[in-house]
Chains A and B, each alone.
Chain A
Amino acid sequence: MSSETKQILTTDGIPLEISLKKAERKNKIRAFLLVAPLLLFLIITYIFPIGEMFTRSIDDKMITNMLPKTFKSMETWDGKELPSEEVFASFLSDFKILVEKKEHGKLAQRLNKEKNGFNTITKKLFRQVKRNKIDETQSIKEQIMKVHKRWRNVEYWQAIKRTAPPYTSAKYLKAMDMYLNEDNKITQVSEDRRIHRILWLRTVEVAFFVTVFCFLMGYPIAHLLATLPMKYSNLLMICVLLPFWTSLLVRTASWMILLQQQGVVNDFFVLIGLVSDDNRPEMMYNKVGTYVAMTQILLPFMVLPLYSVMKTISPSLMRAGKSLGGTPFVAFWKVYFPLTIPGIGAGCLLVFILAIGYYITPALVGGASGTLISNQIAYHMKTTLDWSFASAMGLMLLGGVLVIYWLYNKLVGVDNIKLG
């Protein structure tokens, strides 16, 4: 018997299999169309711009657009001795255009980042150009070299050339306090200028310890909330949920009041005789403030997932453990604790990821030692306008977060994230 004779047909005479597939496809398309508006919206306004951060971070077109002729003429320069008259001439003509557009300051700033000392010599050159002191019929090379002795130094021209390639890893290297030197080798910046590495380490350190503190404080109260009778635990739950719903800035403000030198916490310490009145410790504008405030602010994110997991653990399990001869500690450690691991994972992941991108609280209560990598990103976005550097650091941070997220997914599974 051939398979065709066995085929079941619908009333329209279409084979059932095909008809079902058609219906299935229709359902698939319908489901997808419901998701499509949000998906499209997010892809355009959010996912693409994150991709754009990547192109920005490796793209140094800013300077290429400023000095187009210079880079063109530099292509033939070997970079060992001072460049030729032609390079000097095209540099001057590029520079004149920038002066007209009033963008020479930007150029000086950008070049100064590549090599210190450009600020002064660009200003000097600017004054000469402004006063029309440079005679274009004479040798331009000679005249520029007379403006300042650094223009005679080949290192400065090498620095200009280094900024030329349109794609560069410089921003990523800079975020790790490294740079490409004259021979294209990765070198570390001098020790006193290694600020970014300190910031990365501090960010990880703060996020790690805040997570640990949140866990140590969150676990007992989540356990209490999950084991108390409903009428008490509902009341205590308010203590967790009210801070959760309260504005971040309000909570930060209250910590600023509590922790100041004449603040309530210090008053209390004086009252119980822990410190003398004229020797009140500084608790704000340092790491203590950052840790205390961030722990309180992120604690609900630890308690809520832990609570929702602990709520599902039957109390009879602990009783069974004890009745089988375990002491309460053993029963807890061998029975209860392993069952709470998904909650611990979700809580720690949430707190760590929130803490690693933290910005507002450290900036307000942390002082100079509370600056984290996010503050640096915001600083470059808003103040120095070095958007490609900010993008590079942002993507490095994002990479870190994704790795943590992936690890978490491997170890615990993502489906455990719950919102209260």
Chain B
Amino acid sequence: MALPKYTETRYRIWHYFYIAICTFVFIFLIAPLFVIFPLSFNAEEFLVFSEGMKNLDPDAFSLRWYKDMVYGTKNPWGLAAKNSFIIAIFATLGSVILGTVAALGLSSRHMPFKGIIMATLISPMIVPLIISGVAIFFFMAKAGLAATHTGIVLAHIILGTPFVVITVTATLSGFDHSVTRAAASLGSNPVNTFMKVTLPLILPGVISGGLFAFVTSFDEVVVVLFLAGLENTTIPIQMWTGLREQLSPTILAVATCLIVLSTLILISAELLRRRSERLRGINR
């Protein structure tokens, strides 16, 4: 953003001040994530940059904490990762199926009581998590599903569906319904029409809603804290306990893996968003 030559001095100063603020905020946002990388390769047990690390001494770096993460006997990271993935995958599937079907109904112009039903469907996103946690715990305790995988999966479906509903209804808002009518007039039944015509067109929205649901489940700790027993420990629970007791470098190794994972998710979400905008004919 070059300034035109005729800019007065005070606006020039203001402009540089503005750029400085923005730079500071961007650093503030992104820098914390980068502290974790080098420290997770620390050869020592302390969570500070040792003299060796500052001088880039190769001996100061090691994969010790990554080994500990994988083979360490005291750290049930393996079990936690397995649980996290199982729960997140099933919760995502459930959220996507329920949410997409509901979004189809919601974006029909015949839908009665649209406002109140939409509000109900996205309420788990608006209600503070701690309250959702308490309510879901009461239900699961009564249904005998506390401390089971099923219970946690159901809880995460509750928390994940609003994201699917919102992204899929947004995708459907630019959807040309004449294509489904065309399919119907050519003799296709509704299920077939959905699978062959509608779904391929709204797929980017469905997948990006699914990504939201996956991340919500994978990163969720408040509700799981209420529901999980020892058997159902997940990565966030394990990190929570670890951070509360003692900040060990192993946690940083796990955190690094999680940052890599979220980078992958970010890239796929961005690609999907662009594809979806292209399909919907939004050109910017």
Contact = CB atoms under 8 A, between A and B. Distances in A.
Q: Which of B104, B127, B165, B265 has the most CB of A within 10 A?
A: B127
A419 B212 contact: yes
A392 B121 CA distance: 24
- Majority SS of interface residues in chain A? helix
Interface in A262-290: 262-264, 267
Contacts of B251: 253
B262 A246 contact: yes
Interface in B5-42: 11, 18, 21-22, 25-26, 28-30, 32-33, 35-36, 39
A34 B126 contact: no
B139 A46 contact: yes
B247 A250 contact: no
Nearest to B236: A249
Contacts of A245: 215, 262-263, 265-266, 269
Interface stretch (A86-94, A105-113, A220-228): A220-228
B144 interface: no
Contacts of B136: 45-46, 49
Interface string B221-265: 110011000000000100110011001000110010011001101
B48 interface: yes
Interface of A: 24, 27-28, 30-39, 41-50, 52-53, 56, 217-218, 220-221, 224, 227-228, 230, 236, 238-258, 260, 262-264, 267, 296, 299-300, 311, 328, 353-354, 356-357, 359-360, 363-364, 374, 377-378, 381-382, 387, 390-391, 394-395, 397-398, 401, 405, 417-420
Contacts of B154: 45
A419 B166 contact: yes
Contact of A398 (B112, B128, B226): B128
A360 B161 contact: no
A299 B22 CA distance: 13
B62 interface: no
A357 B131 contact: yes
Nearest to B27: A239
B195 to A, nearest CB: 15
Contacts of B65: none
B130 A243 contact: no
Contacts of A391: 134
B123 interface: yes
Contacts of A418: 170
Contacts of B66: none
Given A49-B138, A253-B251, A387-B134, 12 more contacts: A27-B110, A34-B101, A42-B123, A42-B124, A45-B154, A45-B158, A239-B30, A243-B32, A354-B128, A357-B131, A378-B222, A381-B226
